[in-house]
Amino acid sequence: MARSAAKACILFLSVLLTIFAATGAAVAQDRPEEGGRELQLWTGGGHSVSGGTQDTNVWNAGVRYGWILTAPHGPSFLNGRFEYAVEAMPAFVVFQQANTAYGAGVNPVVFKWIFAARGHVAPYVELGGGMLYTTHEVPYGTSNINFTPGAAFGLHFLGERAWSVDLRYLHISNAGLSTPNPGVNTVQVRLGFGKFFGKK
């Protein structure tokens, strides 16, 4: 199971990198703007913190597609743009004491506020959530199906491509689908590589 999941993840990421390479020369947009879109590959990992099951590590990777819905607005330092995005996570690994759980997930609701760029740097904050399906129960003895609300603060580094790094809080919980429901709270660092596309 682990080997086939790793092969599927590598194939998925290879296809997405090919898409980036094929479309990179055709577009010049490298900054978020109203009506534009964002495409990003990302990977992240972290460790459990207090408030849930301890001694748990996570690693995940996925792709994001976002729509920038507004022009810049808001007062002074809060000035920015609103983006709505969706994410697919074909690779999600939970390292826990009882076993290692492999899974995949989707975040259909991601709300992102991209602050006005300061030179080539654009800070952002984000709230989102979705579902996670795993080969083993997470945490052990609970459920294979979990919900994944989270929040992040990060930075876009803008250029020909847009790199990002963020600090992310992720909660994994079955929301009462089974008892007990201790959940897992993690703090993660996520790295992203993508592109902002101008409106057509």
Domains of the chain: 2-197 (2.40.160.20)
CA atoms within 13 A on the CB side of 82: 6
Over residues 73-91, the mean pLDDT reads: 93
User: CA 107 → CA 21, 60, 122, distances in Å?
Assistant: 25, 13, 23
pLDDT band of residue 73 (cuts 50, 70, 90) is confident
DSSP-derived 3-state class of residue 135? coil
Q: Residue 190 in contact with residue 176, Cβ under 8 Å?
A: no
Which two three-digit tokens encode residue 40? Answer: 């990003």
**Tally of residues, the chain:** 200
Q: What is the pLDDT at residue 57?
A: 96
The per-residue pLDDT for range 4-17, each reduced to its tens digit, is 444 555 555 555 55
- Please state the rounded mean pLDDT for residues 154-176: 93
2, pLDDT greater than 70:
no
3-state secondary structure of 2: helix
Helices (H) and strands (E) in the chain, counts: 1, 9
Q: Supply the pLDDT for residue 62.
A: 97
Specify the pLDDT at position 1: 43
User: Nearest Cα to 60, choosing from 194, 195, 186, 190?
Assistant: 190
Looking at residue 27, its pLDDT comes to: 42
Task: State pTM to two decimals.
Answer: 0.82
137: its two tokens: 């129960």
The proportion of the chain whose per-residue pLDDT surpasses 70, expressed as a percent, equals 84
* Torsions phi, psi for 25 (to 5 deg): -75, -20
Is pLDDT above 80 for 78? Answer: yes
Tell me the C-alpha distance between 20 and 25, whole Å.
9
Three-state SS for 173-195 is ECCCCCCCCCCEEEEEEEEEEEE
How confident is the model over 133-156, as pLDDT tens digits? 999 999 998 999 999 999 999 999
Task: Identify the pLDDT of residue 118.
Answer: 75
Tell me the average pLDDT across 25-42: 77
Q: Residue 87's pLDDT is what?
A: 98
DSSP one-letter code for 112:
E
The listed range with the strongest mean pLDDT (15-19, 25-29, 117-121, 194-198) is 194-198
Range list of H helices, the chain: 2-24
How distant is the alpha carbon of residue 75 from its chain centre?
28
Mean pLDDT of the chain: 86
The rounded distance, in Å, linking the Cα atoms of 43 and 163 is 12
Residues 39-61 pLDDT 10s: 999 999 999 998 888 999 999 99
- pLDDT score of 24 more than 80: no
